Structure 1
Amino acid sequence: MTDSARYPVPATRHRIEQVIDRSRFLCTIERVRTTEDAQAFIKEMNAEFPDATHNCWAYVVGTPGSTDRIGMSDDGEPHGTAGRPMLTVLSHCGIGEIAAVVTRYYGGIKLGTGGLVKAYGGAVQEALATLATVERVDTVTVTFAVGYGQIGAVQQLLPTVDAELLEQQFETDAQFTVRLPRSQYPLLTTAIQNLMRGSAVFHLTESTP
């Protein structure tokens, strides 16, 4: 099962090109955090390749293999020969927040239904083979205060919960603002409450990568 807080996503836009029976196929991969991002990316590709025979696409928004927010289009190719095989590849690639547009320039030789399925799905597979990814981590930003006597304990605690110190202020007490993985947040709050004997107050701000 995929960890919903951590999973790979495309690091940057990536494109490959293939020629199959004189037809030119370009596959462009992009990270999309929302369906609006996906539609904007597709629109951008249509504008970049307005003279293409087809600009077929598919996307999976969310965790790898998620079916909540998906989309696909054959863009004029025979039904089920482009968008569906592209989506199948994306859904099983183990990468989240991902969209692909395969641009085709027809070369004069018909590929047939099976040939099209293989060409469109294969173009996405070829692009994924050289796609750089980064880990997407759900994080939270939290502010809390401790007494001056607990500063050393807090400074030792932060690295153990993968917390990044964003800001600290020293007034009547010592105030810390940190960012850490959402999964580590309960560990942080429990440790700080133990230090403060249950009197700590946390101000939480959700953050996206």
Structure 2
Amino acid sequence: MTFCTLRAGARARGEFEDRRSRFIGLLVPVGGERDATRGVAEVRAARHDARHNAWAWALADGRERCSDDGEPQRTAGQPILQQLRGAGLANVCCVVTRYFGGTLLGPGGLARAYGEAAARSIAAAREAGDLVTQGLVVPVTCVVPYAAYERTRHVALMCDGREQDAIFFEDVQVTYVFRAGQEGRFVAALSELANGRDVCQVGEARLGTL
């Protein structure tokens, strides 16, 4: 399972204006439904003077929801959700705030405006380099002599691993992260380098950045 999401701690903002109505989109990362609900509540509290705060969220497990927040049915939440789907995003929530400009936009105009604000938020995240690919990763911790550290690092890179941390004592305790299913090659290669000794501890698979 791999998916595209917003980097932890990042936020992306996009704005669109039509006939003096302002549509301000905010894209945030979420870990689940509770996070998404909290994110919507925070935007509502911060922009309590707005007429509408429509939203949509999508999770990596396939769950998704959206709300028109008082706009005509399917003119706000659904266009936002369609933008998330179109970008292949998961574990994100997008809230689009509307400040009414005095002119009715009609169902088509509303759908375009809400969708465009969401699209601009996604584009801002992409431009900032805050969209990342996540999937199941497996950490592998090994203890090797200091002299073997660089060679171990080279083997990890050849197995598409990345170093997470290293602690230097007389020996080096280093943790590498691999895409799930790739860690076996590294463990086997390192065992061969260590003349058959087991020098690796394989951790539990978890969601992480690939």
Which band: TM-score by shorter chain? 0.7 to 0.9
Confirm or deny that 1:75 pairs with 2:69. yes
Q: How does 1:101-116 map to 2 (within 5 A)?
A: 101-116=95-110
Query: CA separation of 1:128/1:147 partners in 2, compared to 1, >3 Å: closer, same or farther?
Result: closer
What percentage of aligned pairs have identical amino acids?
32
Letter in 1 for 2:179: R
Query: CA separation of 1:56/1:194 partners in 2, compared to 1, >3 Å: closer, same or farther?
Result: same
Confirm or deny that 1:130 pairs with 2:124. yes
- 97, 104, 112: which is aligned to 2:91? 97
Corresponding residue of 1:56: 54
State how far apart, in whole Å, the 2-side matches of 1:14 and 1:149 are.
44
| Structure 1 gaps, min length 5 | none
Shift of 1:168: 4.4
Corresponding residue of 2:32: 34
Corresponding residue of 2:162: 163
Shift of 1:135: 2.5
TM-score (norm 2): 0.79
SS at structure 2 position matched to 1:130: helix
State how far apart, in whole Å, the 2-side matches of 1:128 and 1:152 are.
39
- 162, 176, 180: which is aligned to 1:179? 176
Q: Calculate the aligned-residue CA RMSD, in Å.
A: 2.8
Q: Which deviates more, 36-45 or 155-164?
A: 155-164
Q: Which deviates more, 148-157 or 131-140?
A: 148-157
Cα contact 2:16–2:116 (8 A) shared by 1: no
SS at structure 1 position matched to 2:78: helix
- 16, 32, 42: which is aligned to 2:14? 16
Q: How does 1:185-196 map to 2 (within 5 A)?
A: 185-196=183-194
Query: CA separation of 1:128/1:180 partners in 2, compared to 1, >3 Å: closer, same or farther?
Result: same
State how far apart, in whole Å, the 1-side matches of 2:26 and 2:174 are.
39
Query: CA separation of 1:169/1:107 partners in 2, compared to 1, >3 Å: closer, same or farther?
Result: same
Shift of 1:69: 2.4
TM-score (norm 1): 0.79
Letter in 2 for 1:203: Q
Letter in 1 for 2:75: T
State how far apart, in whole Å, the 2-side matches of 1:82 and 1:93 are.
17
State how far apart, in whole Å, the 2-side matches of 1:134 and 1:166 are.
27
| Structure 2 gaps, min length 5 | none
State how far apart, in whole Å, the 2-side matches of 1:149 and 1:112 are.
70
State how far apart, in whole Å, the 1-side matches of 2:150 and 2:80 are.
53
State how far apart, in whole Å, the 1-side matches of 2:145 and 2:98 are.
64
Deviations 1:75-121 (A, max 9, x none): 11111111111101111113333221110112222111111111111
Deviations 1:114-142 (A, max 9, x none): 11111111211222233222424454332
Letter in 1 for 2:38: A
- How many aligned residue pairs are there? 199
SS at structure 1 position matched to 2:203: strand
State how far apart, in whole Å, the 1-side matches of 2:24 and 2:147 are.
61
